[in-house]
Structures are given as structure tokens and as C-alpha cells.
Amino acid sequence: MSLTRDTRPPDPEQQAQRQRLDELARVLRQTHSALLEAVKADFENLNGKIGGPFHFFQLVTADPFFQWLRPLSGAMASLDELIDEKRLLQPVEISGIKDAIHALLSQDEPSGFGANFETRVRDSQTLAKYRSDVLETLAAIA
């Protein structure tokens, strides 16, 4: 099997879409990080200091206190996989990830992420700014 390099010029619309998706990934990472810090502080107020980064990672991935954050982690992983694809992205894929993130932010979302997130947003100007950034970035994705 012969592998040849694709020498076609990059599609400007694909490049623009990938840049918008990269921006969405960036603002979601900021949001996720801020949420983790806020929830970590609440956990420590209730349970005492967390023993370090590995212990914190274990809690985030396994403890029910952090469970509501996991759908955001999953959506971010799906977005990263889409961005990393080395092929033309289909409009249905882009709209699918966009719709999934919009749905995640909904207060009626079944996992409880949206309702918990809204509660955090009301208590934090930083998270309110990040939510605004996410929504603005989503709106820019065609």
C-alpha cells in the first residue's frame, strides 16, 4: 500500500471551522478548569484538604461529588477527537458537537450538568464570563 501526501491546497472554510472549533476547545478547557477549582474548594470545605494532584484526579474521575462534571469532560474529549481528525470535517459532525454542547448547558439536561453549572455561574463572575465566551464561540460556528 502506497501512502501519498495530499498536496491539495487547504480549504479556507475548513481551516476557519477548525479555528473556531479550536477556540471552542480553549474556552471549554478554561471553563472546566474554573469549575474544577470551585468544586474542589466545596469538597475541601466539607471533607478537608485533598491530598495532592493524584488524589484529586481520583476524586474527579470516581467520586460522586464530582460526577456532574463528567459530561463536560466527555464533550471536550469528543470535540478534541473531531479537531484531531485529518480529513474534511462534515457539517453534520460540526453541528452535532455544537448541539451536544448547547444541550449540555441546558438546565433541563438529564445529567444535571446544566443546572449545576447555572448555580455556579450565579455565584462566580469568572464562570459567568466563561459561559458567555462558550456561548459566543458556539454562535460563531457555522
Whether residue 56 has pLDDT greater than 80: yes
pTM confidence score? 0.86
**In terms of Cα–Cα distance, which of 77, 58, 61 is closest to 69?**
61
Does residue 86 contact residue 5 with C-beta atoms inside 8 Å?
no
44 Cβ partners below 8 Å, 6+ apart?
Answer: 50
Region 107-130: what's the mean pLDDT? 90
Q: 1-45: per-residue pLDDT in tens?
A: 545 555 555 678 888 888 999 999 999 999 999 999 999 999 999
pLDDT of residue 2: 47
What average pLDDT does range 95-110 have in this prediction?
Answer: 89
Alpha helix stretches (DSSP H) within 5-67: 12-47, 53-62
